Amino acid sequence: MTTLKERLKQGKDARKNCSRSSQASLGKINRDPIPLIKASSEGRVKSLVELRYGRMLVSPFTFYRGNALLQAHDLAGTQNMGLVSPICGDSHLMNFGGFATPERNLLFSVNDFDEAHPGPWEWDLKRLVASFVVAARDLRHGETVEETVCRQVVGAYQQTMLECAQQSALETWYESISYDDLLQQASKNTLEHVQRAIDKAERRTHAELLPKISERDAHGRLIIRDDLPEIFHLHKNTTLLDAEDDWLRLSDWRPLYKTFMSDYRSTLQADRRDLLSRFHVHDMAFKVVGVGSVGTRCLVALLTDEQGFPLFLQFKEARPSVLTHYVKAKSRVRHNGQRVVEGQRLMQSASDLFLGWATGPNGRHFYVRQLRDMKVSAELENFDAETFAAYGHVCGRALARAHAKASGCAAQISGYLGKGDALADALFKYARTYTDQNERDFERFQLACRKGQLRARSEADFAADHLP
């Protein structure tokens, strides 16, 4: 058994093969981004790919959010310290936020694991710091804020990883970042933002969502309301599925739901299967989510218990991780829904009560969770410089905790990081130059859309197609 000092030295020795200054390299950027963007759209609902491109066209920041595959390709040409462990795979700043534990406590952590896969921890940290600089530039915060927030992210990651290195395995496993902690640590300027997030989370319940997205039909049955292009039924004239889509050959949504549930129930703990059995399903509809996920299949099912209280379950398609072709390490599970769920359970200190996975018709993989339940994300547009930096700090803490818990190698990572500014200097350089690269890629994407190489449409375009 090695001592803490020996494990720290192992990490420090890794600098011989991968210096911290080498982490500033951008990797394989001598490429045309358009074929990679097209590749990331393969297998998606064709009409919704146009909406995906429309959302990516909004700004360099939405472009960055919507295309994790491009950065994974680039990072494959960079050095790393040689430690491969489960990572998020798409750890940009909007994939962090608040969520409810099964005990109804509000925690802050990484909250999107669609791309979870074994890989170098540096890739997650680089995607995070670059996302902050991309967002800071997009929001016109200025160069000083760009550097400050980048150093806050790296500094918090560095300090938290050292704390984890000194903890027992159980302490690291159970440790979490609660919103009560954030309230106690908040300055006067950031306190209001934390409290607003808590208040918003408390309102984001299934009961609060029910009247917003559902109604009674002419026969008094409870149904989900179509709201194009965000929500639509598969077999109505509002559907956005392609005419040849195999799901349209089903009679309605019920065979699809039945297929999901026969598989999904077995992935839940026995007590949660019992709880689920107390709900009856009323309806299911397609729900478009996010930026990078647009065009992948995502459905929401409306269930109620015997007293009429609702439960919304989200069935989200789990495609192969964007990291699959860029790292030598392979996921130990073949089902992509299971890969997402196990990645989430491993990296979060607590996870959704109904988190599980299923296989749909024709073998597509899905994972399942509650929709919206106390989930909150950062409102970046309302952040001043101090709040933006504070948000960077807590994201750095959360990512370090996720990596420490998942890898069990906090000491080795901490030994590599050290206590000085060497890595922060390198990653600020990386983030700044990758932001420049992202803007060049965005310009080429814009040009491809203007020339008709890629077809982009907005929400308004889709809605106008279905006006009465």
SS3 for 260? helix
- Residue boundaries of the structural domains of the chain: 4-203+379-465, 206-370
What DSSP state is assigned to residue 88? -
Summarised one tens digit per residue, pLDDT across range 229-260 is: 999 999 998 899 999 999 999 999 999 999 99
In terms of residues, how long is the chain? 468
Which residue matches tokens 């990072």?
A: 75
Structure token digits, residue 401: 């905790």
Q: What is the mean pLDDT of the chain?
A: 95
pLDDT at residue 407 greater than cutoff 80: yes
**Residue 409 class from Cβ within 10 Å (0-12 exposed, 13-18 middle, 19+ buried)?**
buried
The mean per-residue pLDDT over the stretch 385-392 comes to 95
Whether 90 has a pLDDT exceeding 70, the answer reads yes
Q: Which of 234, 244, 223, 240 is nearest to 459 (CA)?
A: 240
Strand partners of residue 287:
231
Q: How far apart are CA 217 and CA 231, in angstroms?
A: 16
416-432 burial, b at 16+ Cβ within 10 Å, e below that, comes to bbbeeeebbbbbbbbbb
pLDDT at 467 over 70: no
User: Which two three-digit tokens encode residue 28?
Assistant: 């394989």
| 97 Cβ contact partners less than 8 Å away, ≥ 6 residues apart | 108, 111, 375, 376, 377, 378
CB 141 within 8 A of CB 132: no
Per-residue pLDDT band at 461 (split at 50, 70, 90): confident
Helix axes 385-407, 143-165, angle to 10 degrees: 30
Instruction: Name residue, tokens 């015997």.
Output: 306
70 or 219, which is more confident? 70
| pLDDT score, position 439 | 98
Residue 465 clears pLDDT 80, i.e. is over it = no
pLDDT digits (tens, 9 = 90+) for 138-148: 999 999 999 99
Please report which confidence band the pLDDT of residue 468 belongs to, taking 50, 70 and 90 as the band edges.
Answer: low
Mean pLDDT of 72-80: 97
DSSP class of residue 376 equals B
pLDDT tens string 25-71: 999 999 999 999 999 999 999 999 999 999 999 999 999 999 999 99
Task: Copy the structure tokens of residue 370.
Answer: 């509650």
The helix (run of H) or strand (run of E) holding residue 318 is none
- Least confident segment among 25-39, 210-224, 454-468: 454-468
Going by pLDDT thresholds of 50, 70 and 90, the confidence category of residue 311 is very high
